[in-house]
Copies of this chain bind each other. A is one copy, B any other.
Amino acid sequence: MKNQELAERTKNSLINTARVQFTEKGYAETSLEEIVGKINITRGALYHHFGNKLGLFKAVVEVVQRGIAESIEQESAKSENSWEQLVLGCHAFVHAALLIENRRILLVDGPAVLGWNEWSEIDEHHSESRLLQKITDLKADGLIKDSISVKALTTVISGSLNEAVLWVSHAENPEQAKDEVLAVIDVMLNGFRK
């Protein structure tokens, strides 16, 4: 079993340093040599474990998504009220997505590099699926206006959160911007309530 844990260690090292590089320079601008150089191995190891550059990126994306989903889960569990859980979840997403180690991969490069189909497939296993589930429940409980499509609403909310995070992160005063954005989101969510 010494071989397996060695492999596991190299894979994790690759994912971790790749995440840093992808975050700092973006997918296209990071070379694989840059990544393997940081941990003193060669591209041979990388190609052995991940097949190609995209394979490594997907592995990084998985880690990022898992982290976000966990944050949301944790935060929204702080309330018993179903509607409050939605609000808490949205706020948690904003907080988590704002973190440097998540932002670019989650909001910019992820969708662009992987393309819509592959991206939403991954997304649906994580944060977006949580949001969809919550909204489906709220709709079933009659807490959301009847005229509204659950999937369309999920999309609209998700999109607004994404763009909001990007704006906040580039605002002159990010703290204030975050407050403003969260306030707008609260109003928005309330607008969908029955």
A3: chain B residues within 8 A (beta carbon)? none
A185: chain B residues within 8 A (beta carbon)? 156
On whether the beta carbons of B170 and A152 are closer than 8 Å, the reply is no
On whether the beta carbons of A177 and B191 are closer than 8 Å, the reply is no
Best-surrounded residue of A109, A184, A190 (most CB of chain B within 10 A)? A184
Shortest distance from the beta carbon of A51 to any chain B beta carbon, whole Å: 18
A116: chain B residues within 8 A (beta carbon)? 108, 166, 169-170
A169: chain B residues within 8 A (beta carbon)? 116
A164: chain B residues within 8 A (beta carbon)? 152, 155-156, 159
A147: chain B residues within 8 A (beta carbon)? 183, 187
Would you call A149 an interface residue if the criterion is a C-beta within 8 Å of the partner chain's C-beta atoms?
Answer: yes
Would you call A50 an interface residue if the criterion is a C-beta within 8 Å of the partner chain's C-beta atoms?
Answer: no
Given A116-B170, A170-B120, A188-B192, do A156 and B149 touch, yes or no (CB 8 Å)?
A: no
If over half of A's interface residues share one DSSP class (helix, strand or loop), that class is named, otherwise mixed; here it is helix
CA distance in complex: A169, B170 (Å): 29
Would you call A34 an interface residue if the criterion is a C-beta within 8 Å of the partner chain's C-beta atoms?
Answer: no
Best-surrounded residue of A111, A148, A188 (most CB of chain B within 10 A)? A188
Best-surrounded residue of A112, A148, A190 (most CB of chain B within 10 A)? A112
Q: Which of B113, B153, B181, B187 contacts A155 (CB 8 A)?
A: B181
Specify the chain B residue showing the minimal Cβ separation from A189: B191
Would you call A125 an interface residue if the criterion is a C-beta within 8 Å of the partner chain's C-beta atoms?
Answer: no
Would you call A28 an interface residue if the criterion is a C-beta within 8 Å of the partner chain's C-beta atoms?
Answer: yes
Given A112-B109, A163-B162, do A184 and B117 touch, yes or no (CB 8 Å)?
A: no
Q: Which 9 A-B pairs have the closest CB atoms?
A: A191-B191, A159-B163, A112-B112, A149-B180, A152-B180, A160-B160, A155-B167, A156-B160, A159-B160
